[in-house]
Amino acid sequence: MTKKALVVVSFGTSAPEAVYALTNIENVCRRAFPEYDFFRAFTSKMIIRKLKQTEGLNILSPEEVLDKLVMEDYEEVICQPTHILKGREYEKILGVIGAYKDKIPLLKLGDPLLVTEEDFRRTARIMVAAPGRSMEEDEALVFMGHGTEHKANEAYHKMDKLLREMGHERAFLGTVEGTPSLDDVLGELDQRQLKKACLMPMLIVAGVHVREDLAGDQEDSWKSIFKARGIETDIILKGLGENDDIAQMYVDHIKRAGKVF
C-alpha cells in the first residue's frame, strides 16, 4: 500500500487564544483526507523554541517533517501552507520543499488562500458574512491585513476594491505594514461620514500582534486611533482560520495541489 502524508504548514502561533485557528484548519483537512497520515509543521523557529520552553511541545519544522517522511519511505506527500499570499513566507516554503523533490516520488504543494479570481471572491463573501450580523447604515466593516513589501501586497489592493465591486459599499481593507494603509481607510470613512466601524483581522491567526495592533490600549492601536477620531468600534478578534468555510478552501487547494518540479 502506498504511504501517503498530508503536511499542513503554518507560520505558527504561541498565543493560546489564537491556536484554534490553526487546529481548525488542520482538523478540517485531516477529516477530508483520512487516507493520508497527518503532520503539522511550523516555519517560525522562534515560535517552535518558545512552545518547547513554555509548553513542552515539540513542533517540527517543514525540513524535520520531510526528513522523517523520507526516512520512513513515504511515496506521496502533499504540503499545504496556511498562508494567505504568495509572499516571502510562501517562497521560503517553496524553497524548502523543492529540495525534496528528488527524494519523494510524488511531492505536491498547495496554493495559499488567495491565488485565483474565485479564491478572492469566495474569501470576500466569507469575510463580509463573518460578523454574523448586518452592518448599520452609518457603520463600516473594516479588515486589518498584515501587509508586505513583497509584490504580493497587490492582493490587498485587489481585495479592498473587490469588496466594494461585489456590492459592499462600506467594506474596506487596510494593512499594518503595507498598502492600503490605515490612513487610506480612515480617509474613506471620513469621505462617507461613517462614525461606526466593525473591525476584524484579515489574518489566519488573531495572535499577539493582531490583538495589540488592532485592539490594544496603546495610542497607536487601530482601536485607539478610531476612538480618537470619534469613531465607535465593535471589534471581533477571530482569525480567518477559525472559520470553517476558510478551512474548506484549504481542503479544495489540497485537491488541486500541483507536483513540485
Each residue's pLDDT tens digit, 71-81 = 999 999 999 99
Question: What percent of the chain clears pLDDT 70, i.e. is strictly above it?
Answer: 100
Q: pTM of this prediction?
A: 0.96
**Would you say the CATH fold of 131-237 matches that of 4-113+242-259?**
yes
Q: How far is CA 236 from CA 29, 104, 240, in A?
A: 25, 42, 11
CA distance 46 to 174: 27
pLDDT band for 261, please (50, 70, 90 cuts): confident
The pLDDT of residue 61 is above 90: yes
pLDDT for residue 111: 97
Q: Are 67 and 74 in contact (CB under 8 A)?
A: no
pLDDT for residue 19: 94
Each residue's pLDDT tens digit, 105-119 = 999 999 999 999 999
Each residue's pLDDT tens digit, 202-255 = 999 998 888 999 999 999 999 999 999 999 999 999 999 999 999 999 999 999
The catalytic position among 146, 157, 209, 253 is: 146
3-class DSSP assignment, residue 222: helix
Residue 146 is a catalytic residue = yes
CA distance 43 to 118: 27
Where are the domains positioned within the chain?
Answer: 4-113+242-259, 131-237
Going across the sheet that includes 76-81, the strands are 37-42, 4-10, 76-81, 106-109, 258-259
Nearest to 239 by CA among 141, 145, 152: 145
CA distance 44 to 50: 10
CATH code for the domain defined by 131-237: 3.40.50.1400
CATH code for the domain defined by 4-113+242-259: 3.40.50.1400
